[in-house]
Protein backbone atom coordinates (compact mmCIF):
# COMPACT_ATOMS: atom_id res chain seq x y z
CA UNK A 1 0.00 0.00 0.00
CA UNK A 2 1.23 3.49 -0.84
CA UNK A 3 0.93 6.48 1.49
CA UNK A 4 -0.09 9.97 0.50
CA UNK A 5 1.81 12.93 1.91
CA UNK A 6 -1.51 14.54 2.85
CA UNK A 7 -2.53 11.52 4.91
CA UNK A 8 0.85 11.09 6.60
CA UNK A 9 0.75 14.67 7.83
CA UNK A 10 -2.18 13.71 10.06
CA UNK A 11 -0.23 10.89 11.75
CA UNK A 12 1.48 11.44 15.12
CA UNK A 13 5.17 10.47 14.97
CA UNK A 14 5.86 8.08 17.85
CA UNK A 15 8.88 6.91 19.79
CA UNK A 16 9.91 3.27 20.12
CA UNK A 17 7.77 2.86 23.27
CA UNK A 18 4.68 4.34 21.59
CA UNK A 19 4.89 7.79 23.18
CA UNK A 20 4.14 10.63 20.79
CA UNK A 21 7.32 12.46 19.74
CA UNK A 22 5.52 15.16 17.79
CA UNK A 23 3.62 15.92 14.63
CA UNK A 24 4.87 15.65 11.07
CA UNK A 25 5.45 19.04 9.47
CA UNK A 26 7.16 18.06 6.22
CA UNK A 27 8.97 15.35 4.25
CA UNK A 28 12.24 15.92 2.39
CA UNK A 29 13.22 13.94 -0.69
CA UNK A 30 16.26 13.82 -2.97
CA UNK A 31 15.39 15.28 -6.36
CA UNK A 32 17.95 13.07 -8.14
CA UNK A 33 16.29 9.73 -7.43
CA UNK A 34 13.02 10.72 -5.68
CA UNK A 35 13.97 8.89 -2.50
CA UNK A 36 12.62 10.01 0.85
CA UNK A 37 15.39 11.24 3.15
CA UNK A 38 13.95 13.07 6.17
CA UNK A 39 10.89 13.63 8.30
CA UNK A 40 10.58 17.12 9.75
CA UNK A 41 8.77 16.77 13.07
CA UNK A 42 7.46 19.50 15.37
CA UNK A 43 8.49 18.38 18.87
CA UNK A 44 6.99 21.26 20.81
CA UNK A 45 5.87 19.05 23.70
CA UNK A 46 9.47 17.98 24.35
CA UNK A 47 11.40 21.09 23.33
CA UNK A 48 9.42 24.28 23.00
CA UNK A 49 9.54 25.75 19.51
CA UNK A 50 11.88 23.17 17.99
CA UNK A 51 11.77 20.90 14.99
CA UNK A 52 13.53 17.54 14.71
CA UNK A 53 15.03 16.39 11.45
CA UNK A 54 14.50 12.64 11.52
CA UNK A 55 16.45 10.53 9.02
CA UNK A 56 14.43 7.91 7.22
CA UNK A 57 16.60 5.11 8.72
CA UNK A 58 14.84 5.71 12.05
CA UNK A 59 11.34 5.47 10.59
CA UNK A 60 9.24 2.33 10.69
CA UNK A 61 6.43 1.70 8.23
CA UNK A 62 3.44 3.96 8.92
CA UNK A 63 0.65 2.10 10.71
CA UNK A 64 -2.44 2.83 8.62
CA UNK A 65 -4.77 1.08 11.09
CA UNK A 66 -3.68 3.00 14.19
CA UNK A 67 -2.87 6.04 12.03
CA UNK A 68 0.51 6.62 13.63
CA UNK A 69 4.08 6.72 12.31
CA UNK A 70 6.32 4.59 14.58
CA UNK A 71 10.08 5.21 14.79
CA UNK A 72 13.12 3.57 16.39
CA UNK A 73 13.77 6.66 18.55
CA UNK A 74 13.83 6.46 22.33
CA UNK A 75 13.23 9.30 24.78
CA UNK A 76 17.01 9.57 25.53
CA UNK A 77 17.66 9.83 21.77
CA UNK A 78 15.30 12.76 21.54
CA UNK A 79 16.58 14.49 24.67
CA UNK A 80 20.30 14.06 23.92
CA UNK A 81 20.17 15.19 20.30
CA UNK A 82 22.24 18.32 19.56
CA UNK A 83 20.45 21.50 18.59
CA UNK A 84 22.48 23.27 15.87
CA UNK A 85 21.30 26.69 14.76
CA UNK A 86 20.69 27.80 11.18
CA UNK A 87 24.40 28.54 10.76
CA UNK A 88 26.23 25.96 12.92
CA UNK A 89 29.86 26.58 13.83
CA UNK A 90 32.64 24.07 13.21
CA UNK A 91 32.51 23.15 16.90
CA UNK A 92 28.77 22.50 16.71
CA UNK A 93 29.28 20.33 13.63
CA UNK A 94 31.97 18.32 15.40
CA UNK A 95 29.72 17.92 18.45
CA UNK A 96 26.90 16.63 16.26
CA UNK A 97 29.22 14.24 14.38
CA UNK A 98 30.60 12.91 17.69
CA UNK A 99 27.06 12.28 18.94
CA UNK A 100 26.24 10.38 15.75
CA UNK A 101 29.35 8.21 16.11
CA UNK A 102 28.72 7.54 19.79
CA UNK A 103 25.13 6.44 19.27
CA UNK A 104 25.71 4.78 15.88
CA UNK A 105 22.35 6.28 14.94
CA UNK A 106 22.93 9.09 12.42
CA UNK A 107 19.33 10.01 12.02
CA UNK A 108 18.31 12.93 14.22
CA UNK A 109 19.22 16.59 14.41
CA UNK A 110 17.30 19.57 15.72
CA UNK A 111 16.84 23.21 14.93
CA UNK A 112 16.93 25.82 17.66
CA UNK A 113 13.85 27.50 19.12
CA UNK A 114 12.11 29.60 16.51
CA UNK A 115 14.31 28.28 13.70
CA UNK A 116 12.45 26.16 11.17
CA UNK A 117 14.21 23.62 9.02
CA UNK A 118 14.95 24.19 5.35
CA UNK A 119 16.31 21.65 2.83
CA UNK A 120 19.63 23.54 2.64
CA UNK A 121 19.94 23.40 6.43
CA UNK A 122 19.31 19.65 6.31
CA UNK A 123 21.98 19.17 3.65
CA UNK A 124 24.44 21.07 5.83
CA UNK A 125 23.68 18.78 8.75
CA UNK A 126 24.09 15.71 6.56
CA UNK A 127 27.56 16.90 5.51
CA UNK A 128 28.50 17.59 9.12
CA UNK A 129 27.35 14.14 10.24
CA UNK A 130 29.38 12.34 7.60
CA UNK A 131 32.59 14.36 8.00
CA UNK A 132 33.21 17.13 10.56
CA UNK A 133 33.88 20.42 8.80
CA UNK A 134 32.58 19.16 5.45
CA UNK A 135 30.54 21.53 3.33
CA UNK A 136 27.41 20.56 1.37
CA UNK A 137 27.21 21.02 -2.37
CA UNK A 138 26.36 24.54 -3.47
CA UNK A 139 23.09 23.31 -4.95
CA UNK A 140 21.13 21.25 -2.46
CA UNK A 141 19.27 18.22 -3.75
CA UNK A 142 16.94 17.96 -0.78
CA UNK A 143 13.46 19.23 -1.55
CA UNK A 144 10.47 19.91 0.64
CA UNK A 145 7.14 18.26 -0.21
CA UNK A 146 5.35 21.13 1.46
CA UNK A 147 7.17 23.56 -0.82
CA UNK A 148 6.71 21.58 -4.04
CA UNK A 149 2.98 21.14 -3.34
CA UNK A 150 1.32 23.75 -5.53
CA UNK A 151 4.07 23.87 -8.17
CA UNK A 152 2.71 24.03 -11.71
CA UNK A 153 3.07 20.91 -13.86
CA UNK A 154 3.66 21.08 -17.61
CA UNK A 155 3.66 18.24 -20.12
CA UNK A 156 5.27 17.98 -23.56
CA UNK A 157 2.83 20.39 -25.14
CA UNK A 158 0.84 22.26 -22.49
CA UNK A 159 0.13 22.86 -18.83
CA UNK A 160 -1.39 19.99 -16.85
CA UNK A 161 -2.23 21.55 -13.50
CA UNK A 162 -0.52 21.76 -10.11
CA UNK A 163 1.10 19.30 -7.71
CA UNK A 164 -1.60 18.31 -5.21
CA UNK A 165 0.02 15.36 -3.42
CA UNK A 166 2.70 12.67 -3.46
CA UNK A 167 2.50 8.88 -3.21
CA UNK A 168 5.28 7.23 -1.18
CA UNK A 169 6.11 3.53 -1.05
CA UNK A 170 6.91 2.67 2.61
CA UNK A 171 8.76 -0.51 1.57
CA UNK A 172 11.62 1.32 -0.13
CA UNK A 173 10.83 4.98 0.73
CA UNK A 174 10.58 5.95 -2.93
CA UNK A 175 8.33 8.83 -3.97
CA UNK A 176 6.58 6.89 -6.73
CA UNK A 177 3.95 9.28 -8.02
CA UNK A 178 2.88 12.88 -8.23
CA UNK A 179 -0.82 13.60 -7.86
CA UNK A 180 -1.76 16.48 -10.17
CA UNK A 181 -4.84 18.65 -9.75
CA UNK A 182 -5.84 19.31 -13.37
CA UNK A 183 -7.72 22.49 -12.46
CA UNK A 184 -10.15 24.24 -14.77
CA UNK A 185 -9.17 22.56 -18.04
CA UNK A 186 -10.20 19.16 -16.65
CA UNK A 187 -12.36 19.85 -13.56
CA UNK A 188 -12.72 17.25 -10.84
CA UNK A 189 -9.77 15.09 -11.92
CA UNK A 190 -6.58 14.05 -10.22
CA UNK A 191 -3.93 12.74 -12.60
CA UNK A 192 -1.41 10.24 -11.20
CA UNK A 193 1.99 10.59 -12.88
CA UNK A 194 5.11 8.55 -12.16
CA UNK A 195 8.10 10.50 -10.83
CA UNK A 196 10.14 8.56 -13.42
CA UNK A 197 8.46 10.68 -16.09
CA UNK A 198 9.67 13.93 -14.54
CA UNK A 199 12.26 15.50 -16.83
CA UNK A 200 12.98 18.64 -14.82
CA UNK A 201 12.04 20.44 -11.65
CA UNK A 202 12.58 24.16 -12.14
CA UNK A 203 12.80 25.44 -8.60
CA UNK A 204 13.24 29.08 -9.62
CA UNK A 205 10.01 28.88 -11.68
CA UNK A 206 8.16 26.62 -9.22
CA UNK A 207 7.40 24.22 -12.05
CA UNK A 208 7.65 20.48 -12.72
CA UNK A 209 8.06 19.19 -16.27
CA UNK A 210 6.90 15.69 -17.23
CA UNK A 211 7.36 13.71 -20.43
CA UNK A 212 3.68 13.12 -21.20
CA UNK A 213 1.33 14.85 -23.66
CA UNK A 214 -1.79 16.60 -22.43
CA UNK A 215 -4.24 14.45 -24.39
CA UNK A 216 -3.04 11.30 -22.58
CA UNK A 217 -3.58 12.97 -19.21
CA UNK A 218 -7.10 13.85 -20.31
CA UNK A 219 -7.90 10.20 -21.09
CA UNK A 220 -5.85 8.60 -18.30
CA UNK A 221 -7.43 6.00 -15.99
CA UNK A 222 -9.19 7.57 -13.01
CA UNK A 223 -7.95 6.41 -9.62
CA UNK A 224 -10.23 7.14 -6.70
CA UNK A 225 -8.39 5.37 -3.85
CA UNK A 226 -4.85 6.74 -4.06
CA UNK A 227 -3.36 4.91 -1.02
CA UNK A 228 -5.04 1.72 -2.22
CA UNK A 229 -3.44 1.89 -5.67
CA UNK A 230 -3.20 -1.69 -6.93
CA UNK A 231 -0.52 -3.17 -9.19
CA UNK A 232 -3.16 -3.72 -11.87
CA UNK A 233 -3.95 0.01 -11.77
CA UNK A 234 -0.26 0.84 -11.99
CA UNK A 235 0.01 -1.42 -15.02
CA UNK A 236 -2.92 0.39 -16.63
CA UNK A 237 -1.23 3.75 -16.02
CA UNK A 238 2.09 2.74 -17.53
CA UNK A 239 0.35 1.05 -20.45
CA UNK A 240 -1.78 4.12 -21.09
CA UNK A 241 1.29 6.37 -21.23
CA UNK A 242 3.32 3.75 -23.16
CA UNK A 243 6.05 3.83 -20.52
CA UNK A 244 8.17 0.90 -19.24
CA UNK A 245 7.16 -0.32 -15.78
CA UNK A 246 9.60 0.22 -12.92
CA UNK A 247 9.01 -3.15 -11.18
CA UNK A 248 10.28 -5.31 -14.08
CA UNK A 249 13.79 -3.85 -14.07
Strands, DSSP E only, in 43-107?
A: 51-55, 69-70
pTM of the model: 0.81
Question: Is the backbone of residue 133 left (phi > 0), alpha (psi -120 to 50) or beta?
Answer: left
Q: Identify the CA nearest to 59 among candidates 33, 81, 37.
A: 37
**How many Å apart are CA 85 and CA 56, to the nearest integer?**
21
Quick one: which of 192, 173, 179 has its CA closest to 233?
192
Number of structural domains found in the chain: 2
Residue 91: the pLDDT is 41
**pLDDT reported for residue 107:** 57
In the prediction, which pLDDT does 111 show? Answer: 64
78 and 172 within one domain: no
How confident is the model at residue 46, as a pLDDT? 66
Residues 163-176: tens digit of each pLDDT: 999 999 999 999 99
| Together in a domain, 116 and 180 | no
Say whether both 119 and 236 belong to one domain.
no
CATH number of the domain that 130 lies in? 2.30.30.240
Looking at residue 211, its pLDDT comes to 97
Q: Are residues 88 and 102 in the same domain?
A: yes
Give pLDDT < 50 ranges for the chain. Answer: 82-106, 136, 138
Are residue 180 and residue 103 in the same domain, yes or no?
Answer: no
Range of the domain at 166: 149-248
Residue 113 phi, psi dihedral angles, 5° rounding: -55, 130
Domain boundary residue among 143, 175, 203?
143
Question: How does pLDDT run across 123-144, given as a tens digit for each residue?
Answer: 666 666 555 555 545 456 788 8
**How much of the chain is helix, strand and coil, in % rounded to 5?**
25, 30, 40
Q: Give residue 168's pLDDT.
A: 97
203: nearest Cα among 127, 246, 140? 140
Amino acid sequence: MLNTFTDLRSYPVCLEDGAQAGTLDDLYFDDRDWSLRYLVVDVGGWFSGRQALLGITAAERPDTHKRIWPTALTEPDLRSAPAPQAEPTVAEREEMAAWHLATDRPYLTMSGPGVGYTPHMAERHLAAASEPGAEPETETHLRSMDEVSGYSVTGRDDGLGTVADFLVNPLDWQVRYLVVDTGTWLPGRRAVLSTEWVTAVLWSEQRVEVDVPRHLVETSPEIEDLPGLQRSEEESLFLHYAMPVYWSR
